Structure 1
Amino acid sequence: MSDHKDNENYAANMDDQFITLVDDKGNEELYQILFTFDSEDYGKSYVLLYPASTDEDEEVEVQAFSFKPDPKGDVGQGDLYPIEDDAEWAMVEEVLNTFIDDDGADY
């Protein structure tokens, strides 16, 4: 799982499966959405991303953020919020590990 990120912003690409992250220096990188989920415990929605330039056989660093869903419940135009609480990170990692175990993916 990724290190905590500070002040990341994003702009949704034309395809709903991609997000462009812009760091505080203005550098842009295209990420693919791995999946989104909601947590009743934290009352938030989360998105997990990985670099779109990653080869299929390559190990990836997954980024995770909370977000406010658009009216359709998707990651729309808006902000991604860093996950700063260790217990919240543990929950996100548990969901990711369950996804990997269920999917058989090698992320």
Structure 2
Amino acid sequence: MSEKDENKNYAADMTDQQITLVDDQGNEELYQVLFTFDSEDYDKSYILLYPASASEDEEVEIQAFSFKPDANGDASQGDLYPIEDDAEWQMVEEVLNTFLADDGTDY
């Protein structure tokens, strides 16, 4: 996972589980939602993404952000926020590792 220094804007169609990230230069890239989860310890919601263009046998870089869910608890509109705290990153990585171990999928 890599840290991002800036907030990312996104629009989501959660039925397809895809989000388009727009960087500071206005470049758009489509990402697939791996999963979302909530942390009571940090009182935040998190979303983990990987490039939608990645092939099944390709190793990909997974992006993780915190977000503010809408009234339905979805990441449907708004901003993604960088994870800047090392302890918070460690917690997100532990959740990801548990997910990958349970899923049996290599990303």
TM-score range, shorter chain: over 0.9
Structure 1 Cα separation of the partners of residues 49 and 34 of structure 2: 5
Q: Distance in 2 between matches of 1:80 and 1:88?
A: 15
Tell me whether 1:53 sits opposite 2:50 in the alignment: no
User: Which structure features the higher share of strand residues?
Assistant: 2
Question: Are the equivalent residues in 1 in contact too, given 2:3–2:84 (CA < 8 A)?
Answer: no
Q: Which runs of 4+ in 1 moved over 4 A?
A: none
Does structure 1 retain, via aligned residues, the 8 Å contact 2:14–2:76?
no
Tell me the SS of whatever aligns to 1:79: strand
Extract unaligned runs of 5+ from structure 2.
none
Aligned-residue RMSD, C-alpha = 1.3
Conserved? CA contact 1:13–1:20, under 8 Å: no
1:43 is matched with 43
Q: Say how many residue pairs are matched.
A: 107
TM-score by length of 2: 0.94
Compute the TM-score of the two structures, normalised by the length of structure 1: 0.94
* Aligned counterpart, 2:103: 103
Contact 2:49/2:62 (<8 A) preserved: yes
Q: Cα 1:14–1:71, aligned 2, differ >3 Å: closer, same or farther?
A: closer
**Contact preservation (8 Å) 1:12, 1:77:** yes
5+ residue gaps, structure 1 = none
CA contact (8 A) 1:7 1:24 kept: no
Cα deviation, 1:16-57, whole Å, max 9, x if unaligned, reads 400000000000000000000000000000000000000000
Q: Which is further off, 88-97 or 11-20?
A: 11-20
